[in-house]
Every structure is written in structure tokens, then in C-alpha cells.
Amino acid sequence: MNTEDELKEMEWWVSIPKVELHAHLNGSIRNSTLLEIARELGEKGTIVFSDIEHVIRKNDRKLHEVFKLFDLIHVVTTDHKTITRITKEVVEDFAAENVVYLELRTTPKRNDAIGLSKRSYMEAVVDGLRSVSSNNLEINFSGADLETFSKSQTKMRIIVRLLLSIDRRESTASAMETVNLALEMKDMGVIGIDLSGNPTVGDWKNFFPALKFAKDQGLSVTLHCGEVPNSVEVQAMLDFLPGRIGHACCFQDEDWNKLKSYKIPVEICLTSNIRTETISSVDVHHFGNLYKENHPIVLCTDDSGVFSTNLSTEYALVSSAFGIGKMELFQLARKAVDFIFAGNEVKMELKKVYDAAARTLKHHTSTKSICCIKLLVATTMFPEKKTVDAATLVAVGTRGTVGNLLMKEIEYYKRLESDIGCDSDEKRGGSRFWCGLGLFKLKWQKKMGNSGINDKFLPKICMIVDAAECHHNRHQHRHENKIPGLITIFLKLTLSNIRSSEESKE
Ligand SMILES: [Zn+2]
């Protein structure tokens, strides 16, 4: 992809409405702001500016640099004015990339020496929210003002709610103080509690009373869970039935089983997990499995400033790493509305935003590569070949782009045939595309050149399917003594299906 294509691609990810549910206020600070404040602190002699300048200016920070930056942020975010400024800027940055709903979390800090209390810290945050509104951006951070907000359609709009974080270093009493503060600030947009901080510090038993109290009082709770291997804690956290959990990186089989049976939504923070070296690479990230199994998940940034990312980038990353189409990820973004902690009125408001976006996106994308259609696949499999993961086959009724669904099918059959020893044909000089539905791909590419899938392509799909079926007859003949069982594939993708699907979207 050349730079122009990449830019266009990025524009698309920015253009879709997004929901951010795992963003720490301090970790989302702008580099430019951090640089400015660090320079001032350097002039005052509070820090040595030259020690930190190169780390702030860097984008691909190593783990030790990430920690260095967190230390610096801790130093700079202790006065009310800075907290207000950062809050305003963070919300503006999320709004600028079309985040329509943001749950911003922060740990209320207390520093008696400078007159900072947990309450005054949070008031500075709320002041930041208040100062967001401008000529082109409208913010809603309180349920009471939602009606007025929903009527204003001319500006860019963002709904923000706050989560108060309990730091794992805190005592039970201090955690309880945070929960009480959250309850007092309900009408200022505070809707929940988060447990975060160094995962190797603190004991679940210390936080449990405050978290249980929060839950009993009607606050929603999300937990940083499984950032380090600790199955005892993970099990206890899951049994607590939090509204959501963040990360879930170091889970054992029993933890996955419990998470899935409880259907607890997971806040996925890909770049964060890679940068902190919790997960070795994107392709082995548990997002893939959770997505495939349709477990509730939401893509998030964690600390967009520190990890030099944003939510649009996270969507683009998932798309390229896992080969998921744009409309499928648009649907994933929309699904996140179900996992927000705000009430039904906000959910309804957000669904309206997504409905409107779906209509606009349709015009931009048309049938070129994103027609959301149903690909009907009926198949009987090799029952003996247990090594093939049946779940990878595109199931009947799966929704996705034509290209994406076909590619999934092709991958599946490639694996299937390599499993039954079809590779040998290739070694004997046979056509590579003889194997699997690669034939499919070849014909598709030949017919369509580089134009992708468009209207002209659609009527030809059935013809290609005919070829694939013909191939399978020959294939079956070749292996008839070797493989008991019969493969029948009906890739029934008719024009009428597509047209009715398109019409229903009108
Ligand atoms: Zn986090």
C-alpha cells in the first residue's frame, strides 16, 4: 500500500464513530503538552529536562521509556490547572477522531502539601470537561443534559462519562473514600469504578469491600484483570462479576472458560499489550480468539499518549493483523454501545449515531468492497480429520465483505487439503492453485484484475462456484480410496441475495 492509500485507509477508520471504554486520563496526555510542562519544570529545577526530552519526542517507546514517561506524568499532573487542561485536551483529541462516547478513567490524587484532595482533583477534571464546548464541539457529561445535547446536530459531538480508579497501592479505607466520592459526583458524570495500577502490588482482598460497596450502590465496576499470571486473583475477579474487565492477557484455560461462560465484556488494548511486552506480537493476541467466538469485546487505547496510538489506529491494526473487513469492524464498534456503563438513554442516542453513519458509509463504500451480505455455506466435512479446526469455516449466515468471506474460505480449504496431503501435487509441479479453493482466488483475480469486487463481479461468483465444485469432484476421485466421506460445497451467493440485502439497507 502506498502512502496515499494508507492515508485514505486511515481516513476511513477515523470517519467511523467509535466508543472508547478504557482510557486513562493521564496516559492520554498530548506529547506537545507534556513537552511544554516538562520544559517549565526543568526551568524550575524540579526535573532535569534533557533527561526526558528525547523520550517525550519518541513515538516507538521501549518498555523502560514507557515507565520513565509514566513517572514524569505522575510529577506533572499534580496541580489543578494542569489536570483541567489535560482533561480538556484529551476529550478534544478523542472527539477529533470521531470517538462519540468516551469513558475516561482517572485515579483521584491527594497531596495535602499543595492543597490537593481527591475531591478537588476530580473537580479539576470536571472543570476540564466543562471547558470543552466550543464553536464546533459539543460535549455531554451529565445525564440531565442529554435531551438538549441530542437535539444539537450541527457540531461535532461527544458524550463523556467518568470512572474513578482505585490504585492497587491504596488501602481499603482509601479505596472506600474513592467510591464515596464517585457516589457524591454521580450528577457530574461519574458512573463507575476501575481497579488499576501495578498488577504485582496489592491484594484483591483489600479492594473487595470497596468494590462490592460500589456495586451495591449502583456504580458499574471494571477491573484490570490478568495483566500478570495470577489465576487465584483472576478467578476471584471473574466471580465478582464486574461489568467489564481490561486486558485479560495472562489467562489460563480455566480463566477463559469462566470468562466466556459469564460473558464478561473485555476491553482490548492491543498496542498497550505489545508495548508493555505482555503479549509478544499482535497476531497471537487473544483478540483473535475472542472475536472468532463472538465474545463481547471492545477495542480501546489504554494510554494513547504514552503508547503513541489512537482508537482509529487500533481499528486499523486489528483489520490488518486479523484480516477483518471494514464493515465488520464498524459492526464491532457499534456493538461496543451495548457494553458502556451509561444508561439506556445514552445507548439509544449512540445507536442513532451509528444508524446515521451506516447510511453515510453505504454511499461511500457502495458495493465495491463492502457489501454486507450473507454467504451461505453448506458443507459436510472430513469427519476423521480432527486436526482441522472446523470453527475456521465460515458459518452459514456469517456477515462480512465478499472478499473477506471468500478469503476465509480459501484459507480453510488450503489447510484442509494440506492436511490430507495435497501439498505433494505442488511438489510434483502441479498447479499451486489446484489445491483448495485457491482456484477460486485465481479466477477471481483474473476476471477482476485489480478492480476488487464490484457490481460486475457479483453475477460471476456463481460461475466460479461451479468451477470449485467441479474441482472437488476431481479431487474426490483422486482421493476416493483414501478419504471416506464426501465434501459438498454450496457457496450459494446469488445476485438476488445481494440485491435484497442492498435494498434492505436503503
Ligand atoms: Zn489500563
Is the confidence at residue 160, as pLDDT, over 50?
yes
pLDDT band at 150 (very low <50, low <70, confident <90, very high): confident
- Residue 441 inside a domain? The answer is yes
Give the model's pLDDT for residue 258.
98
Question: Do residue 269 and residue 175 come from a single domain?
Answer: yes
Question: Do residue 396 and residue 333 come from a single domain?
Answer: no
CA distances from 267 to 21, 242, 388, 451, 485 (A): 7, 12, 30, 36, 43
Distance, in Å, from the CA atom of 412 to the CA atom of 45, rounded to the nearest integer, reads: 62
- Residue 19 inside a domain? The answer is yes
Is the confidence at residue 487, as pLDDT, over 80?
no
- Residue 58 inside a domain? The answer is no
H helix or E strand, kind and range, residue 3: helix 3-15
The mean per-residue pLDDT over the stretch 266-287 comes to 94
49: three-class secondary structure by DSSP: helix
Q: Where are the alpha helices (DSSP H) in 61-203?
A: 63-76, 80-96, 118-130, 146-151, 172-184
More confident residue, 125 or 471: 125
The mean per-residue pLDDT over the stretch 32-42 comes to 93
Is the confidence at residue 390, as pLDDT, over 60?
no
Question: Do residue 338 and residue 463 come from a single domain?
Answer: no
- For cell 468494590, name the residue: 211
More confident residue, 357 or 495: 357
Question: Do residue 278 and residue 312 come from a single domain?
Answer: yes
Query: In sequence order, which residues have a C-beta less than 8 Å from that of residue 261 and are 6 or more positions away?
Result: none
Is the confidence at residue 90, as pLDDT, over 80?
yes
Q: Which of residues 362, 382, 403 is at a domain's end?
A: 362
Question: Do residue 501 and residue 402 come from a single domain?
Answer: yes
Q: What is the largest CA-CA distance in the chain?
A: 84
Give the model's pLDDT for residue 222.
98
CA of 35 to the centre of ligand 1 (A): 23
Question: Do residue 206 and residue 140 come from a single domain?
Answer: yes
- What is the pairing mode between strands 376-380 and 220-225? unpaired
Distance, in Å, from the CA atom of 39 to the CA atom of 21, rounded to the nearest integer, reads: 32
Q: pLDDT over 90 for what percent of the chain?
A: 59
CA atoms within 13 A on the CB side of 24: 25
Question: Do residue 133 and residue 15 come from a single domain?
Answer: yes
CA of 224 to the centre of ligand 1 (A): 6
DSSP track, 73-89: HHHHTTSHHHHHHHHHH
Q: Which of 89, 103, 177, 227 is catalytic?
A: 227
Query: In sequence order, which residues have a C-beta less than 8 Å from that of residue 64 and are 6 or more positions away?
Result: none
Give the model's pLDDT for residue 294.
96
What cell numbers appear for 203 in the block? 491484594
Give the model's pLDDT for residue 494.
30
Question: Do residue 357 and residue 451 come from a single domain?
Answer: no
Question: Do residue 313 and residue 451 come from a single domain?
Answer: no
Is the confidence at residue 459, as pLDDT, over 60?
no
CA of 336 to the centre of ligand 1 (A): 17
- Residue 281 inside a domain? The answer is yes
CA of 193 to the centre of ligand 1 (A): 13
Give the model's pLDDT for residue 136.
84
Lowest-confidence segment of 151-160, 219-228, 380-389 by average pLDDT: 380-389
Question: Do residue 341 and residue 379 come from a single domain?
Answer: no
Give the model's pLDDT for residue 395.
52
The mean per-residue pLDDT over the stretch 372-391 comes to 31
Question: Do residue 192 and residue 291 come from a single domain?
Answer: yes
More confident residue, 465 or 132: 132
CA of 428 to the centre of ligand 1 (A): 53
CA of 197 to the centre of ligand 1 (A): 8
- Residue 46 inside a domain? The answer is no
Give the model's pLDDT for residue 451.
37
The closest of 458, 485, 440 to 401, measured between CA atoms, is 458
Is the confidence at residue 50, as pLDDT, over 70?
yes
Is the confidence at residue 368, as pLDDT, over 90?
no
pLDDT band at 399 (very low <50, low <70, confident <90, very high): low
Domain that holds residue 233: 3-29+77-362
Distance, in Å, from the CA atom of 409 to the CA atom of 411, rounded to the nearest integer, reads: 5
- Residue 310 inside a domain? The answer is yes
Q: Which of residues 362, 381, 413 is at a domain's end?
A: 362
Residue 95 near residue 353 (C-beta atoms within 8 A): no
Which domain CATH number covers 194? 3.20.20.140
Lowest-confidence segment of 84-93, 256-265, 382-391 by average pLDDT: 382-391
- Residue 126 inside a domain? The answer is yes
Give the model's pLDDT for residue 409.
61
Neighbours of 80 (CB within 10 A): 17
CA of 24 to the centre of ligand 1 (A): 6
CA of 88 to the centre of ligand 1 (A): 20
Distance, in Å, from the CA atom of 224 to the CA atom of 196, rounded to the nearest integer, reads: 5
Distance, in Å, from the CA atom of 261 to the CA atom of 444, rounded to the nearest integer, reads: 41
Q: Which amino acid is located at 136 in the chain?
A: N
Question: Do residue 237 and residue 384 come from a single domain?
Answer: no
CA of 27 to the centre of ligand 1 (A): 9
User: How many distinct structural domains can be found in the chain?
Assistant: 2
Lowest-confidence segment of 5-19, 276-290, 341-355, 453-467 by average pLDDT: 453-467
Distance, in Å, from the CA atom of 179 to the CA atom of 183, rounded to the nearest integer, reads: 6
CA of 303 to the centre of ligand 1 (A): 7
What cell numbers appear for 57 in the block? 519526542
The closest of 334, 358, 312, 330 to 9, measured between CA atoms, is 312
Virtual CA dihedral for 307, 46, 196, 108, nearest 10 degrees? -120
- Residue 465 inside a domain? The answer is yes
The closest of 161, 139, 136 to 148, measured between CA atoms, is 139
97 a catalytic residue: no
Angle between helices 311-322 and 3-15 (to 10 degrees): 120
CA of 43 to the centre of ligand 1 (A): 32
Is the confidence at residue 315, as pLDDT, over 70?
yes
pLDDT band at 133 (very low <50, low <70, confident <90, very high): confident
